[in-house]
Structures are given as structure tokens and as C-alpha cells.
Amino acid sequence: MLTAALPVKLQALATAKAHLASAQASLTSAQQDLRQKESDLTQANLVLAAAQKQVTKDQSDLTVGQTTLAAKKLTLKTLQQAPATLAQAQAAVKQAQVAYDAAVAAATLAQNQATHDAATLAELQATANTAKETLSRAQANLAKLERQQSYNDALTSTATKTPSTTPSVTRTATPSATAETTKQADEPEALDNQENKASVKSVTMPKAQRHLANSQDKSAKLVLPQTNAVSNPVLSVWGLVLGALVGMFGLARRKQRD
């Protein structure tokens, strides 16, 4: 029975070996497929990584493109609004030009006003200087006239107080004394002879003559004490004064020579 069962067992063993070999072959094939799949998976992962990288790049490009698009839209909007912006700029330029012209006109007016004011000031200064000079001359003339009026009063007083015998004094005067007296009378300095008690101070002959003529009424008539004749008052007074002066200065000159 053991012998009869042996072939069966051998057949079963052979079948089992065959199955084992087939299984090993299937395993080897499966392992090869697995390695291929693993290789394919690795390649797929590489492709996926590259794809992800490209996606990231594309996303970045998309962002840049969107930004550029927004800028282009803004530029387009600006270009669309350019006519209005240009009109506003032109209006601003016109306003600035008007303001500039007004400023230039104001500056020119101010410059002209300043020039006019300077000329007016110079004219007023010149007028003031002229008025000052006129005032100085008037004051000097007034002082001169006051002094000459004092001379006139002194001469008139001297002529009034001179005695009627004054012409007799003139006979004592020599020609040299008369010339000296005339020279001294023409000098514009004050005359003061301490030896002559009836001295006449600060007498100037031409000035006295003019102011005697101006101070008397030319139409008035006086009677000379010597001749009782009617004569011009200026000539009468001048004759008295001249006679008195010639006599007094002649006497003074003689005393000085002695």
C-alpha cells in the first residue's frame, strides 16, 4: 500500500514543486512590476515636483500679469482722463500767468511810485533848501536893516542935536583930514573916537544915505535953521550930518597928529 501511494505522493510533490516554481516566477514578476512601479512612482513624483514648480512659477507670473494689467488699466484710465487733466493744467497755467502779470504790474507800479516819491522827496528837499536859504537871507537882511535903522536913528539924533554953528567947524578941516574922514566913513566898521565926546558909533556913509532917503517922506518940506529956506529933508539932514562928521573927524585927526 505504501508502494501504491508513493507515485501519488511523488506526483503531488511534483505538482507542488511546479506550483512553487510558478509562484516563484509570479513573485519574481511581481517584484519586477513592483520595482517598475516604484520607478514610475519616483518619476511621477519628479514630474509632480516639476509641475508644482511650474504651477508656482505660473502663479507668480499670473500675479505679475495681474499687477501689470492693473497698471495698464490705470494708465488707460489716466490716458482716458488726459484731456480733462490737460484742461485743468492749462487752466492752472492761465491762472498762474494772470497772477504773475498782476505781480509784475504791482511791482512796476511800486517801482514807479518809489521813483516818483524819490523825485518828489528830492524836489521837496530842494524847495526846503531854497526856502531855508531865503529865510537866512531874509533874516540877515532884517538884521542888516535893523542895524541900519539904528544907524539912521543915531544919525537923525545926532543931526537933531547938532548946533546951528556946525558949518563953522568945517573951516578947521584940512583937505587931508576931509579925505581921511571920508575914507573912514566908507569903512564898514564901527567908529568910536574916545577923544570925541560927541562920537557917532557904527556909521556907514552909503548905507546911512540910502536909509535916510527911505526913512523920510520925499514930499515933506523942512526949513533949514541957517537959511530958513524950504528944502528936501534928506538933503538937509545929510548936510547937517556931513558937516558934523567932517568937523568932528577933522578935529580928532588934528588931535591925533598933535
Which of 24-28, 136-140, 198-202 is the least confident region? 198-202
Residue-level pLDDT at 83: 85
DSSP β-bridge partners for residue 231: 222
Q: What average pLDDT does the segment 101-115 reach?
A: 90
The pLDDT confidence band at residue 79, using thresholds 50, 70 and 90, is confident
* Strand (E) or helix (H) holding 223: strand 222-223
Helix, strand, coil percent content, the chain, rounded in steps of 5:
85, 0, 15
Range picked from 60-64, 114-118, 121-125, 244-248 for highest mean pLDDT: 60-64
Indicate the residue type of 149. Answer: Q
Predicted confidence (pLDDT) per residue in 209-246, tens digit: 444 445 444 434 444 444 444 444 455 555 666 666 66
- Pull the grid cell for residue 245: 562928521
Q: Structure pTM?
A: 0.31
Using an 8 Å Cβ cutoff, are 83 and 91 in contact?
Answer: no
d(CA 151, CA 238) in angstroms, rounded, equals 13
pLDDT digits (tens, 9 = 90+) for 149-203: 888 888 888 777 655 444 444 444 344 444 444 444 444 333 344 334 333 333 4
Q: Under a CB-based contact definition with an 8 Å cutoff, are residues 251 and 169 in contact?
A: yes
The rounded percent of the chain whose pLDDT value lies above 90 is: 23
Distance between CA atoms of residues 133 and 129, nearest Å: 6
